Chains A and B, each alone.
Chain A
Amino acid sequence: MDAIQVMNLTFSYDGQNDVIKDVSFSIPKGSYTTIIGHNGSGKSTIAKLLIGLLPAKSGEIRILGKTLNEESVYELRNHVGIVFQNPDNQFIGSTVADDIAFGLENHCVPQEEMQAIIESSAKKVGMMEYLDSEPTKLSGGQKQRVAIAGILAIEPEIILFDESTSMLDPQGKASINAQIKQLHTQKDRTILSITHDMEEVAQSDFVIVLKDGEVAMTGSPMEIFAHAKEMEEMKLDIPFALKFSKELIKEKITDQPVCTLEEVVKQLCQLKSTT
């Protein structure tokens, strides 16, 4: 079954200019999908449509097979979690612990189980020492960590990340991405991540490329990155590993393009040992 199905979705903020134009895609359950596109391409608008924060002008969204509408939105939100780019927009609690607890309370998690869940999710994002801090007084990167902890605590079936690690230092980003990946592989959660980080895109199963509110391309990371020229025209980039891989092919050292550093190293090691 598809976790998310989007059919002919159109949306406009002012009723005249459509910012999402007849968009269709589906996301299989348990997959890790990335959405990329230039600034203003409609990525965040789609995320808001998917959780029913914005009403579609026309078209249909199905979450876990069920049509998203005014009646179903509250029930469906139990299955979908979102972490926004600017977490200031979603803090509720007066302390970090309270904020993580808020989601758990909404999901009717028994009080006695809460403390352990709060601590383990804060630990996963490296915020254990800040449980009693006020979320608004934290730095941008720390706020993003808390917002992610809130989602890790609930582990909803579908999780949307809207550039959720943009303010983190590279090390912090890598460790949070590892947590997200773990949620995906070990707990079979469906992940939909809006990102500018092409290395993250290379790690995903499926990519949706948006351009001016329309779906410009869909496919595996390799299929998308094969269109390097179009990517550049859409103000996007390809990962360093693929640039390197292309040079290796040009020099006739290898013949198969790859898009992660691990695969590049593997290819070169094989050459080194077999030739």
Chain B
Amino acid sequence: MSIEINHLEHVYNAGTPFEHSALHGIDLSIPEGKVTAIIGQTGSGKSTLVQHLNGLLIPSAGTLDICGFHIQPLLKIKDVKALRKEVGLVFQFPEYQLFEETIEKDIAFGPKNFGVEEEKANELVKKILPMVGLDESYLQRSPFELSGGQKRRVAIAGILVLDPKVLVLDEPTAGLDPQGAKEMMSLFMDLNRIHNKTILLVSHDMEHVMRYCDHVIVLDHGKVLQESDVHTFFEHPEWMIKVGINPPAIIRLKLMLKEKGFLIPDEILDLDALVKCVREQVMLHE
């Protein structure tokens, strides 16, 4: 079942002098079982939007249908508490939220909160660790002695242990070294392909969006500016620059070459194809 968002509006501090409209007229259909990127500049409403997906925010107007929940204005937070089991939201720098003495306790905190008994919760923890690339030897260690990337894995395991159908990740690779970022992205790909999680990714990294995502949503000033599959999206880079998105390096190279009179077909999106394409053009002159 896809996620359906209809005419969603969100106003912060409504009725006060600080009233601020963050989202207006959002209509979206987010496909199930896919990896969808949400992109846009600072302040475009990305975080506000994703916080609606697990009921952290309730819309000011409009509706949201997700995992069998129908969310509309004036709903009480307690009515949507069960939604948080279905939709896991991983904030920026989630490792800052680790707090327990051991990794086992930290990951078990979520299920225990949802009424799972300790013993059962610990079993779940054991099952979840390999999913994030850690093994049982980590269980009794303190989360604070791990590296940044490992801490982040523990924090993500704390969400996965609730077995959510949808996983929403806000800038999950910020601050990681290139290798750490790559490993983190392949973890999400596994979660999507092997464990069938629907993944929403808020990202500034256009290389990741191009390489890993199926679907792209662009927000600008609280509105949906563009929604398309990833190929169509990257085949029209001129438009991307117009709205202030810095395209991936390969797209920038294509644009620079085109400007110098090279003929580069829109559908070329990988390095080998681009090399072949310019090769024909410089060799032609020989």
Residues of A whose CB lies within 8 Å of any CB of B are 37-40, 85, 139-142, 163, 166-174, 196, 198-199, 232, 235-237, 239-241, 243-244, 247-248, 251, 253, 261-262, 264-265, 268-269, 271-272, 275
Q: Is the CB of A39 within 8 A of B148?
A: yes
Per-residue interface assignment for chain B, residues 274 to 286, with 1 indicating a CB less than 8 Å from any chain A CB and 0 otherwise: 1100110111011
Residues A261 and B256 in contact in the complex (CB < 8 Å), given A39-B147, A196-B177, A235-B177: yes
Q: Is the CB of A235 within 8 A of B180?
A: yes
Q: Is the CB of B282 within 8 A of A272?
A: yes
In the bound complex, what is the Cα–Cα distance between A271 and B177 (angstroms)? 36
Q: What chain A residues lie within 8 Å of B286 (beta carbons)?
A: 275
Residues A253 and B42 in contact in the complex (CB < 8 Å), given A167-B171, A198-B178, A236-B179: no
Q: Is the CB of A269 within 8 A of B177?
A: no
Q: Is the CB of A244 within 8 A of B274?
A: yes
**Chain B 143-182 residues near chain A, CB threshold 8 A:** 147-149, 171, 174-181
Q: Is the CB of A142 within 8 A of B177?
A: no
Q: What chain A residues lie within 8 Å of B98 (beta carbons)?
A: none
Interface size on B, residues (CB 8 A): 46
Q: Is the CB of B246 within 8 A of A174?
A: yes
In the bound complex, what is the Cα–Cα distance between A7 and B15 (angstroms)? 61
Q: Is the CB of B285 within 8 A of A168?
A: no
Partner of B41, one of A40, A172, A232, A235: A172
Q: Is the CB of B43 within 8 A of A38?
A: no
Known A40-B147, A235-B179, A237-B179; 17 more pairs at CB < 8 Å: A139-B47, A169-B245, A173-B246, A196-B177, A236-B179, A241-B253, A244-B271, A251-B279, A253-B275, A261-B252, A261-B256, A262-B256, A268-B260, A271-B282, A271-B285, A272-B260, A275-B282
In the bound complex, what is the Cα–Cα distance between A85 and B178 (angstroms)? 17
Q: What chain B residues lie within 8 Å of A139 (beta carbons)?
A: 42-43, 47
Partner of A171, one of B148, B179, B246, B282: B246
